[in-house]
Amino acid sequence: MSKYAHQPLDLSGLKTVPIQARGGKVRVEDFAKPYPGAGVPGWLASLPHILAADSFRAVVEALADARSRKRMILWGLGGHVIKCGLAPVLTDLMRRGYVSGFVLNGAAAIHDFEIAIAGQTSEDVEAVLPDGRFGAAEETGREMNAALNNAGPAEGFGEAIGRHLEELVKFPEASLLCQAYRAATPVTVHVAIGTDTPHTHPDAQGAAIGRATHHDFRLLCSLVREMNDGGVYLNVGSAVILPEVFLKAVSVVRNLGNPLANFTTANFDFLQHYRPKLNVVERPHAKSGGKGYSITGHHEIMIPLLAAALIEKA
């Protein structure tokens, strides 16, 4: 005899339903198929029609549709995307018509700048932080600040850096900033003072940095305005700065009376963070149509895979 006051519930009166009447969200017709050996299109078609596989296909379709309809396609890039060596892949997509503009945080611009002038980037922070050498690369701080300090009144951060690189670049094919500048593809760079190593250089001028990045925010608003009815925004590897900037740009465009609806957004990252989920994938589409997608995976795999799917589809 149990000492407990409550006894196990009698389940003999439970009602059941036939499985066919119950239905199911996963069905055999949606299962993956063995790889048919037909290249990337065959592999993509063989994926299950479930969860992220359908999301990935939807992003491919949205990009292909935006390209064919000449709609705005913006790529927001965090620093890790550049450090993973993906600039040549993104440059190729730009040349193929899958990029209308690049949106960078400060880290992405720094890494690309260093690759352009030195063929290397990404210092060992733990090794140099104890004695204060972190972020002390002379050429990076001196030249990036020179570009901003000497920028013309109509130049923003991205354009000024691109123009300055023309005098310094040693590895042009590896630099997104260099190739975008030569192609006149807009590049906007968005920084907060103190987030980036060039801000600690003696030549840093807060007024020049702030003016240049504010110019680029206004330029981004102009680009985002053109996303209406079929445009695409991809946030790749930025967890804070770019999701916040993008949402403000969306709000500015609508506040000024411009239509901005029925576009696609996607967040690519190896972790799904709070701000990209809300500010990129969900909030921009509230009451306005369109769709947002979250794709989880390593940039060095997912972005070349996305590029291959787009190229083979074309």
CATH of the domain at 280: 3.40.910.10
Provide the pLDDT for residue 130: 80
Chain segment 260-277, per-residue pLDDT in tens: 999 999 999 999 999 999
**204, 50 contact by CB (below 8 A):** no
Per 3-state DSSP, the chain is made up of helix, strand and coil in percentages (nearest 5) of 50, 10, 40
Q: Which two tokens stand for residue 277?
A: 């989920």
Write out the residue range of the structural domain in which residue 164 sits.
51-313
Domain presence at residue 45: no
Domain presence at residue 29: no
**Calpha distance 160→103 (Å, rounded):** 14
Domain presence at residue 77: yes
Q: pTM here?
A: 0.93
Chain segment 123-157, per-residue pLDDT in tens: 767 777 787 777 667 899 999 999 999 999 999 99
**Calpha distance 268→275 (Å, rounded):** 13
Domain presence at residue 21: no
**116, 178 contact by CB (below 8 A):** yes
**Calpha distance 239→272 (Å, rounded):** 8
Domain presence at residue 127: yes
Provide the pLDDT for residue 314: 75
Intervals of the chain under pLDDT 50: none
Provide the pLDDT for residue 55: 98
Query: What is the number of domains present in the chain?
Result: 1
Chain segment 193-211, per-residue pLDDT in tens: 999 999 999 999 999 999 9
Q: Cβ of 147: how many Cβ atoms within 10 Å? A: 24
Provide the pLDDT for residue 107: 97
Q: Which two tokens stand for residue 94?
A: 């730009």
Domain presence at residue 11: no
Identity of the amino acid at 261: A
